[in-house]
Amino acid sequence: MNPIFSALSTSVFEVMSQLARETGAVNLGQGFPDDPGPLDVRRKAAEAVVDGWNQYPPMMGLPELRQATATHYQHWQGLDLDPGSEIMVTSGATEAIAGALMALVSPGDEVVLFEPMYDAYVPLVRRAGGIPKFVTLRPPHFGLSEEALAAAFSPRTKVVLFNNPLNPTATIFSATDLDLLADFCIRHDAVAICDEVWEHVVFDGRRHVPVLGRPDMRERTVKISSAGKIFSLTGWKVGLVMAAPPLMKVLAKAHQYITFTTPPNLQTAVAYGLGKEDGYFESMRADFQRSRDRFAQGLTGLGFSVLPSVGTYFLNVDIAPLGESDDVAFCRKLVMENGVAAIPVSAFYDEAAVKTVVRFCFAKRDATLDAALERLADLRRAGTAA
């Protein structure tokens, strides 16, 4: 067995969802919305599976989806992409990340990672032969600094794997941070693999700024997006990859030997969905923002110390003011005794540099959020009594 995988434990998302199923807890752990997703997009997928082509689609993706992707990102992010040579469809963003690491990293190359980070990153980097170099981000702002980047980059840096908006922190890197990162990538001749799956889930009027559009980053950025996140259909696993032709050629080689292709009916439906009117995206954001505010107010009212959330489906609380010092123990007790599943943010750090932040998914119906708040109120009452 390969030791990188045999030494791994089951993903924290699966562990918490399983505990939630076993205990009947309200599941605010794994990030997925209660809402079933846009009916018209789901209908397109259903129609396409009944009436459409169900044999292998082209390896790079259906032409209509590649064209719709170019049009969508021109409209929303001002990117000028050639659908024929700069866009590829994968079976989810995680496939795109795995493929990009396999395609770009050779054994011994260093890969700069920003922790807290999505749990798939480190094993995928190691399996590609890369040596992870961490930039440790800390609450409440989780921002970059020149010193931290200087300590992580070296002449052996080949790739940076960058997630913005950032899961689990629910923060967005500033324009200054993006410029700083671009500057380091250019100086070290590194490629930025940018996991931008949360790009449409941003609040308070914010607009996502893609690294691919930064000056001098056009030729050294792989942009990765996710239809699952764009349309709140997290099970669909349709990833969109954008990169300049020299990079795309090698990314395509990895994709052709991982999944080769992605279900055609989902591609047809995503092509349709990407062309939806602005109002759809605005109201999707407004709905999530309203849930964020409802849950944040509830938590604050119960005396939780809520960290700012400006994007993603997540809200974090700092449990240190409650006298707690172990987020894993806190989450275990919360699910077993109080009936609410959440995610300990230490799971997103290589060496648990931060141990007192707990992540909740607020992309839920009001009744789900209110049920969780009631259970959290019980926890607070028990805490006060103790």
- Rule CB under 6 A: which residues touch ligand GLN? 11, 13, 30-31, 167
- Output 27 or 262, the one with its CB closest to ligand GLN: 27
- Shortest separation between residue 343's beta carbon and ligand GLN, angstroms: 7
- Shortest separation between residue 27's beta carbon and ligand GLN, angstroms: 10
- Output 21 or 253, the one with its CB closest to ligand GLN: 21
- Shortest separation between residue 240's beta carbon and ligand GLN, angstroms: 16
Rounded to 5 degrees, what are φ and ψ at 321? -60, -15
Structure tokens at 15: 């562990």
- Output 70 or 361, the one with its CB closest to ligand GLN: 361
Under the phi-then-psi rule, with left for phi > 0, alpha for psi from -120 to 50, and beta for the rest, what region is 124?
A: alpha
Nearest to 302 by CA among 350, 338, 259, 252: 338
- Output 31 or 38, the one with its CB closest to ligand GLN: 31
- Output 157 or 232, the one with its CB closest to ligand GLN: 232
End-to-end CA distance of the chain: give it in Å, rounded: 48
- Output 13 or 280, the one with its CB closest to ligand GLN: 13
Nearest to 308 by CA among 169, 127, 106, 176: 169
- Shortest separation between residue 131's beta carbon and ligand GLN, angstroms: 24
- Shortest separation between residue 195's beta carbon and ligand GLN, angstroms: 10
- Shortest separation between residue 31's beta carbon and ligand GLN, angstroms: 3
* Residue written as token pair 């929303």: 76
**CA atoms within 13 Å, Cβ hemisphere of 197:** 26
Q: How far apart are CA 248 and CA 68, in angstroms?
A: 18
Under the phi-then-psi rule, with left for phi > 0, alpha for psi from -120 to 50, and beta for the rest, what region is 353?
A: alpha
